[in-house]
Amino acid sequence: MHDERGTIPHGTASPATGRHVTTAPGVTSQDTADGTTPRATGSRAAAAHTPAASRTASARRTPAARGGRTLRATAVPALGGLLLAVLPALPAQAAGAPESASGSPANAGFEADGETAAPSGWTSTARGNAAGTAFTEPGGHDGGRRLTHRADHAYRVETSQRLTGLDDGPYTVSAWVRSSGGQKSATIALRDCGAGSERTQLPPTADGAWIRITASAEVRGGSCTIALTSDARPGQWAHFDDITLTPGAAALSVRGGDVSTLAKNEVFGARYRHADGTEDDALSVLGSAGMNYARLKVWVDPVDGYNTKERVLAMAQRIRASGMQLFVDFHYSDAWADPGKQNKPAAWSGHSYQQLRQDVYDHTYDVLSALAAQGTPAGMVQIGNEINGGMLWPEGSIDNWDQLAGLLKSGAEAARAASPDTRIALHLAEGGDREGTRWWFDRAVAHDVPFDVVALSYYGYWHGPLSGLQANLDATASRYGKPVLVAETAYAHTLENGDDLANNVGTADQLVDGYPATPQGQAANLRDVMNVVEAVPGGRGLGVVYWEPAWTAVEGSGWDPADPESGNAWENQALFGYDERALPALDLFAP
């Protein structure tokens, strides 16, 4: 999270206007609700964030019943097993998916036949009125055409192709997609693979950009079916293009949450429950849902006595007992550090630059070595928090990269010495800012700053559309050969306040188009962020960490460590509702 003061402007997503597609800012009126190709015409607006009130915070695969990010089942029946009608003009084998014996999908870009309701290599089947539900048309992702699902009536359709001659093992299907949003379901899937199936929901794409998503499944018996499905209302549409199938599975190895305020929340009376109402320790609720990493920030000498080394050590033992690994977030400050402020700790004030380098080394080594000594070593550590503008200002500002690099090296060297197996991350805000990320990390590399992971914050209501996040993650992973991590993300489950302080996201015009402020909208937003990270090529999408899932509204546990009367401005983005129960988005952390 970070303060709006001094931040670099960047794009935001269009505000929500409802469940049905409208012309989005930056997109011409042609081809939005009718599913034809939107064209970008404008630039994205600048945005800022604060963690609460005067500190503006920086800034999914919907489960079926419980489910997961991608929806798994022992078998995914074609369109729910309902009566299907073969679409007009299909070839004789249309009652079953055509087969490709090459191990790769035939006509993967839908370019072979011009505009048709029967693209070569694929079969479409639909329930009830099949007219106009699946067809190819101009406006592809990388070529001239795409597959479109759309109709003026409610429809349910599947376009599929069966691949044979596959070696047994895990496979991943990838597709570039766009969607109006609002469908009951729109997915890509691998099914009938002999060892389970998996499907991934399409995200809404109000900006008109293509998004790449993936689904993975285990093949047993040499064959598997790729299925592209829609269960939609009149006028809703989905686009599919450039389908690939590759050996190997795509999965998130980090599925985490930042629980830095949990200890304070508990002291002031916060209680937590599973979805069924059973009261439990918050870490137990999070861990049993599938979270495998817990992030803790470290402040040097905070006025309220929380987030200190001693507090981190105590929480680390609870985290390990809950079956999770620890992710340590060094702020190198007595309070919030972010792109808007990087204030030195009071104890380091007046120190020379060389003294500051030693301070960073000593503080980092002290915390990490103590964690290792008690048997709770950090699995990952970040040297600084959202350090777009540098750290320990003014000495460590980006205006003096030689000095900033020296401070970062001191932190990294201490981490290596104290905890050799701990991965080192460098963390920026502005997850949708591809140019800013490249500018910063090019300089880090040029100055030989060591790091293992690129960590980015991404809040869709501040940082722009998912397409921007995907472009940045893909380019960053490729350019530096490092795994990429969304180290912070969150979304609202309601616009109602849980305390007297206005929330950071509290009005409908702040929402991302296609994601209402409901428990289901929160889950869908997280699902789609996870899907984008999982789809980073080469398996370099490391994971996603949800920011403050347990920061519910309790008096005394506010955002300002110096003011016990402050509220938190974040409770409507927690993963626990105002009734203390876990929300559906928690199901997405299941492996």
Query: Cα–Cα distance between 248 and 169 in angstroms, integer?
Result: 7
CA 564 to centroid of chain Cα atoms: 32
Query: Cα–Cα distance between 575 and 551 in angstroms, integer?
Result: 9
Backbone angles phi, psi at 411, to 5 degrees: -65, -45
- Name the residue with tokens 């304070």: 264
Taking CB atoms within 8 Å and a gap of at least 24, the contacts of 345-352 are: 345/299, 345/300, 345/301, 346/301, 347/300, 347/301, 348/300, 348/392
The residues facing 466 across adjacent strands are none
Q: What amino acid occupies position 499?
A: D
Query: Cα–Cα distance between 253 and 456 in angstroms, integer?
Result: 16
The residues facing 158 across adjacent strands are 125, 229
Exposure of 449 in the CB half-sphere (CA atoms within 13 A): 30
DSSP symbol at 1: -
Maximum CA extent, the chain: 81
Question: Catalytic positions, please?
Answer: 386, 488
Closest CA to 85 of 125, 131, 135, 132: 125
Name the packing angle between helices 434-446 and 401-418 (round to 10°).
70
CA 487 to centroid of chain Cα atoms: 9
Could you report how far apart the first and last alpha carbons of the chain are, in Å?
A: 26
Let me know if 44 is exposed, middle or buried by CB neighbors in 10 A (0-12, 13-18, 19+).
buried
Q: What amino acid occupies position 563?
A: D
C-beta of residue 515 within 8 angstroms of C-beta of residue 525? yes
Among the residues of 399-503, which ranges form H helices? 401-418, 434-446, 460-463, 466-480
- Name the residue with tokens 């003026």: 152
DSSP string, 235-280: T-EEEEEEEEEEES----SEEEEE-TTHHHHHHTT---B-TTS-B-
Query: Cα–Cα distance between 297 and 312 in angstroms, integer?
Result: 8
- Name the residue with tokens 């981490």: 415
CB atoms within 10 A of CB 509: 9
Query: Cα–Cα distance between 587 and 64 in angstroms, integer?
Result: 10
Name the packing angle between helices 309-321 and 353-373 (round to 10°).
30
What six digits make up the tokens of 108? 């993967």
Query: Cα–Cα distance between 292 and 314 in angstroms, integer?
Result: 18
What six digits make up the tokens of 263? 């200890």
